[in-house]
Amino acid sequence: MLYDHDQDSHAGHNHTLGAGAKKMPSGTDYGPELLISVWTMMAFSILVVASRTASNYKFGNLQLSDAIILLALALLLVAAVLFNLAVNHGYGNTTSSPGHHSMVAGFRYSTIGYAIVILAATAGRLAMIMYMMALLAARTWDRMVLWALVPLQVVVNVVSVVLLFAQCSRVVEVFQPGAQKHCMSLDVQIDYGYFQGAFNSASDLFLALFPIYIFWWFNWTLRVKLVLISLLSLGVVAMAASLIKTLEYPTILKSTNPRINRVPLLRWMFIEAGIVLITASVPCIRPLVLHWIRKYIRKKQTQHHQMDGGPTPNQSTENFAADWKARWIMPYVRQQGHGQASCSSEEHERQILANITTQIFAGDREFLDRHVGGIVRKVEVVVVADEIPLTTTRDSGV
């Protein structure tokens, strides 16, 4: 229902806060604190997503999820710039009284940034879903469950954006604090915010548990399972950030000053979105990190042998180069029963093993050879270029 707003219009909504709620203190500039959180998280997000893209490019694993995660990063960057503009116009600052024009501009930038952060977090979760689908969804049922999450994520979060801009009968009133007439009760946004936060937290938890459900029954060593789960189940961190953000919704009612009442919520919304992007990218970075480490070790070993006047260690370099070239051409995995609605447990394990071999463990076949018995026999790989063998002489004797 639409109704008139004034400074006492929220007096009847104290049930959301509880009897002991404290008001945010006045006479403080919260803008710099907000920007520190925003740009710190932005820097980490850029670093991790850029590393993900570089890793997948080097090892020939670029896919749809990489395009989506880059879109999410671009949206997050736009939101960071908008928050910066809002603070420059006095948003979050109660130590001075900016002009009406500056106050309206700051509120407008912060509101639009609020909406874009929601879309950035949504795109980050969609990227994780698509990555899981390409990596782990070898069975029809698994694909159906993950595909069902896609429209749900879009609808639930887009509705939140629609509510933000449709809360007033005239959109222009959304950007004019203190002059918002005939607008919906804030309880509508807060209650839907609780639902949205609960849904996103549940989605993060599901995406964190999904790899455990897939891997746990495979005949692999515990070490391999723990490595995979530690990389693919980081969604629990995003879930925690989503829960904290959800608990910040009542802070909208803690102050009647529109320049500060959303600051804690905006901070945690941005942190949540950044963590979603980071946790969705970490599994893809492992091959690149190992490549850098091995390159550094080989460089040190070469320098050591040159100082001693001895021969350089070529064998490990040749083995790594052969595996590196094989990953560059992205071997095609010959999957039996590809057109069937379901596959046997053994075939399911083979398909998942083939996927993680060329992605998470790209360039690190030695680890799987040690901990997953008979990997060369389990995964039959057809290499496009005959002159570049997939396995070395040592592997062919397994």
Say if 6 falls within a structural domain.
no
**Average pLDDT score over the chain:** 77
Same-domain check for residues 43 and 93: yes
Evaluate if residue 127 carries a pLDDT over 90. yes
Mean pLDDT of 42-49: 97
Say if 360 falls within a structural domain.
yes
Evaluate if residue 249 carries a pLDDT over 60. yes
The per-type count for the chain, helices as H runs and strands as E runs, is: 13, 4
Residues 230, 215 contacting (CB under 8 angstroms): no
Same-domain check for residues 342 and 200: no
Same-domain check for residues 247 and 336: no
Say if 2 falls within a structural domain.
no
Burial of 196-219, coded b for 16+ CB within 10 Å and e otherwise, reads bbebbbebbbbbbebbeebbeebe
Say if 379 falls within a structural domain.
yes
Same-domain check for residues 123 and 263: yes
Interval 309-358: pLDDT, tens = 544 444 444 454 445 444 433 333 333 344 444 456 777 777 777 777 77
Interval 66-107: pLDDT, tens = 999 999 999 999 999 999 999 999 898 888 777 778 888 998
Evaluate if residue 251 carries a pLDDT over 70. yes
Say if 145 falls within a structural domain.
yes
Burial of 234-257, coded b for 16+ CB within 10 Å and e otherwise, reads bbebbbebbbebbebbbbbbbbbe
Say if 217 falls within a structural domain.
yes
Give residue 204's pLDDT band: very low, low, confident or very high (50, 70, 90).
very high
Distances (CA, A) of 344 to 138, 219, 337, 340, 379: 11, 14, 9, 10, 15
Same-domain check for residues 330 and 387: yes
pLDDT of residue 255: 62
Ranked by mean pLDDT, which of 24-28, 112-116, 231-235 comes out on top? 112-116
Of 286, 302, 329, the residue at which a domain comes to its end is 286
Secondary structure letter of residue 20 according to DSSP? T
Same-domain check for residues 328 and 389: yes
Give residue 5's pLDDT band: very low, low, confident or very high (50, 70, 90).
very low
Interval 160-174: pLDDT, tens = 999 989 888 888 888
Residues 397, 369 contacting (CB under 8 angstroms): no
Say if 133 falls within a structural domain.
yes
Of 238, 270, 286, the residue at which a domain comes to its end is 286
Give residue 364's pLDDT band: very low, low, confident or very high (50, 70, 90).
low
pLDDT of residue 397: 44
Same-domain check for residues 353 and 261: no
Same-domain check for residues 214 and 352: no
pLDDT of residue 47: 97
User: Tokens for 117?
Assistant: 């952060």
Interval 146-159: pLDDT, tens = 999 999 999 999 99
Say if 242 falls within a structural domain.
yes
Same-domain check for residues 230 and 320: no
Of 286, 304, 332, the residue at which a domain comes to its end is 286
Same-domain check for residues 274 and 374: no
Same-domain check for residues 347 and 267: no
Q: Rg for the chain (alpha carbons), in Å?
A: 26
**CATH number assigned to the domain comprising residue 262:** 1.20.1070
pLDDT of residue 306: 56
User: Chain-centre distance of CA 82, in angstroms?
Assistant: 21
Same-domain check for residues 377 and 272: no
- Report the domain count for the chain: 2
Q: Model's pTM, two decimal places?
A: 0.76
Question: Quick one: what percent of the chain has pLDDT higher than 70?
Answer: 71
Query: In terms of residue numbers, what domain contains 137?
Result: 27-286
Query: Cα–Cα distance between 370 and 375 in angstroms, integer?
Result: 9
